[in-house]
Amino acid sequence: MRHGLLRLLAAGAALFMGEASAKLDQMKTNGHSVLGTLDAPTLPKYLSGAPMPNGAPWSNMTAKTNYYHDKPNTGVIRRYEFTVSRGVIAPDGYQRDVLLINDQFPGPLIEANWGDTIQVQVLNNITGPEEGTALHWHGLLHRDMPWEDGVPSVTQCPIAPGESYTYNFIADMHGSTWYHSHYSAQYADGLFGPMVIYGPEQEEYDIDLGPVMLSDWYHRQYHEIVSQLLLVNLTQGGVYTQNNLINGKMNYDCRIPEIVNKLNSTALTKLANKLNASAPCDSDAGVSQFRFEKGKKHRLRLVNSGGEGMQRFSIDEHSMTVISNDFIQVEPYETQVVTLGVGQRADVIVEANGDKDGAYWMRSNVSVLCNAALQPSAMAAIYYDDADTESLPSSVAWNRPDPATCGNDALEVTRPVMEMPVPEPDLTINMTMTMFMNESNILQFATNDNVGFRGNYNSPTMLLSNLGNHSFAPEWNVQSTKNAKSVRVILYNEIPEPHPMHLHGFNMYILAEGGVNATWDGTIVHPENPQRRDTFLIQPLGYTVFQFDAGTNPGVWPFHCHVALHVSAGMMTQFMTMPDEIEEYKVPNKVAETCRQWGKWTHTNIPNQIDSGL
């Protein structure tokens, strides 16, 4: 899989942790965001403002309530106003151009109770140069309103520069998630944020520390890394991330660019991993800080919001109890390391049983055996009640070697709290994921049949099918599941890399998986209640068998790799579910208006769509 470039580097530049007190100003590193500082608020058990018949907005519903059939209808609207603009920040001390929401990195926290309506008015203020944008609300189902899913060329036209679009959707699942731009690889430039939906809980905890965003980080803008990947010569290396952040912060050794540029490594230097040694850089940006209260149970909402790498999250000298995978609460299990592919989440409860004046490292390591990371170790400081917050922890990491399977915890380990047996599928599809150069010598990743996806921003497939037009171009990779109620997919990965595969509009039953060269023997893990989630990791040269209840959600739903560069290189299929019912939808006028605005803008501005568009 990956070679030892990191070791080369480690020899030259050790990670410099600096002084806790000498760090850069928060405005310079993260703009108006307070995430990662001791000023970040803890979160409530639920938001007020909703009718509360039985003490909570969800009345008598519990963690076992079937959220596909029942949810509260609170009638409460949570309204947000987002302005997307360019900015210049230095999250890890290395200054670069980014894309921000309301001048914050990470973007603002969206909060709602289960069953609330969330309205987000998104103003596209990207200038110098202008480009389109669109936001996707990861893991929400958007039943009967697929046009709110936020995917350019599938459910909407991009929001044109200077224009706005107001997303209006139901908080139809509860738990932890994030939102991000789905326009090319914009979110790798910082265009994402956390989202928390409060709902009935199975496990007790005392303090909700809120989102813990784990994001590997590039030092170059997304269009540079996308074009580098697409033009890559397969005989050479890949595109490397430069750092790894927790809640948008980490330190960076500013000597690295100079050292890398001096290396006689074809992979690093020829492929423009050449770093800009003259960009302003401060090796003492400062890491994220968290508070623990001795004896209390703390809830952390882990989100892998990165561009590429699998994260291995841990807290020195503390164990964690996992209570959910993505939006699906699971029977609690204890672990020292949580593995998350891009797009995946885990909620964990950590009991503060350390010293009252103790300080401990929180760590998140990108797997260098599975991904291309130059500086894979993210760190943040946890301070107990009486700890000195001016000094850094000196705790010792767990020694839990990377299993190198590039997969999640075994399927046997997780059992959803709300139990559902897997139904008999009425459609089974075989898919094979490949990587190849297309006829224009452009690197492509495909979910199936060696066809790299490439969308048309001006012709979103869901809107076309709503109008009864099913003449889709072959490179749109539209796969109709017709009237199938439940679709099983047997997915083989012929690429020696893992892929975090995400399905919009559904949670998938994950039925079976295997590693290198394995073939499925038909066995299903826990058929009476298999794991469910919205993103799974398929192992290098391995397979995953999953199923989704297509009949529950008519629409056109992306199934794609969540590695930003892989989906840019085509790794996506669109499942068109219940096409006859798509034609019945009354799509609000604002959706067509956004296409008119985009059509008008593109009349005089030709977007430089170098990639798939997503």
Ligand X SMILES: *[C@@H]1O[C@H](CO)[C@@H](O)[C@H](O)[C@H]1NC(C)=O
Select from 394, 440, 523, 604 the one that contacts ligand X (CB under 6 A).
440
Strands 192-198 and 110-113: parallel
- Measured from the CB atom, the residue of 30 and 477 that comes closer to Cu ion is 477
| Separation between Cα atoms, residue 585 and residue 580, nearest integer Å | 10
First vs last C-alpha separation in the chain: 25
- Measured from the CB atom, the residue of 185 and 207 that comes closer to ligand X is 185
Say whether residue 3 binds ligand X (CB under 6 A): no
Shortest distance in whole angstroms from residue 249 CB to ligand X: 17
DSSP code of 383?
Answer: E
Say whether residue 278 binds ligand X (CB under 6 A): yes
Say whether residue 264 binds ligand X (CB under 6 A): yes
Q: Please say whether the beta carbons of 304 and 345 come within 8 A.
A: yes
# binding residues, Cu ion (CB under 5 A): 4
Count Cα neighbours of 254 within 13 Å in the Cβ-side half-sphere.
16
Shortest distance in whole angstroms from residue 559 CB to Cu ion: 12
Say whether residue 394 binds ligand X (CB under 6 A): no
If one counts every other C-beta atom within 10 angstroms of the C-beta of residue 2, the result is: 17
The b-or-e profile of 244-272 (16+ CB within 10 A means b, else e) is bbbbbbbbbbbebbebbeeeebeebeebe
Shortest distance in whole angstroms from residue 437 CB to ligand X: 8
Say whether residue 436 binds ligand X (CB under 6 A): no
Stretch that binds ligand X, among 292-300, 327-335, 417-425, 432-440 (CB under 6 A): 432-440
HEC per residue, 230-273: HCCCCCCCCCCECEEEECCECCCCCCHHHHHHHCCCHHHHHCCC
Stretch that binds ligand X, among 29-37, 140-148, 452-460, 501-509 (CB under 6 A): 452-460
83 binds, among Cu ion, ligand X, none (CB under 5 to 8 A by kind): ligand X
Select from 561, 564, 591, 595 the one that contacts Cu ion (CB under 5 A).
561
| Separation between Cα atoms, residue 299 and residue 321, nearest integer Å | 9
- Measured from the CB atom, the residue of 399 and 589 that comes closer to ligand X is 399
Within 8 A by CB and 6+ apart from 539, the residues are 405, 406, 407, 493, 498, 513, 514, 515, 516
Say whether residue 438 binds ligand X (CB under 6 A): yes
Say whether residue 377 binds ligand X (CB under 6 A): yes
Which amino acid, residue 309? G
Alpha-carbon torsion, ordered 175, 176, 179, 184, to 10 deg = -110
561 binds, among Cu ion, ligand X, none (CB under 5 to 8 A by kind): Cu ion
| Interaction residues for ligand X, span 454-473 (CB under 6 A) | 454, 459, 464, 469, 471
Shortest distance in whole angstroms from residue 364 CB to Cu ion: 20
Say whether residue 399 binds ligand X (CB under 6 A): yes
21 binds, among ligand X, Cu ion, none (CB under 5 to 8 A by kind): none
Strands 117-125 and 77-89: parallel
Say whether residue 235 binds ligand X (CB under 6 A): yes
Stretch that binds Cu ion, among 61-69, 82-90, 538-546, 566-574 (CB under 5 A): 566-574
Shortest distance in whole angstroms from residue 385 CB to ligand X: 26
Q: How far is CA 394 from CA 43, 300, 335, 399, in A?
A: 28, 22, 22, 15
499 binds, among Cu ion, ligand X, none (CB under 5 to 8 A by kind): Cu ion
| Interaction residues for ligand X, span 554-613 (CB under 6 A) | 612
- Judged by the rule CB under 5 A, the positions of this chain that interact with Cu ion are 499, 561, 563, 566
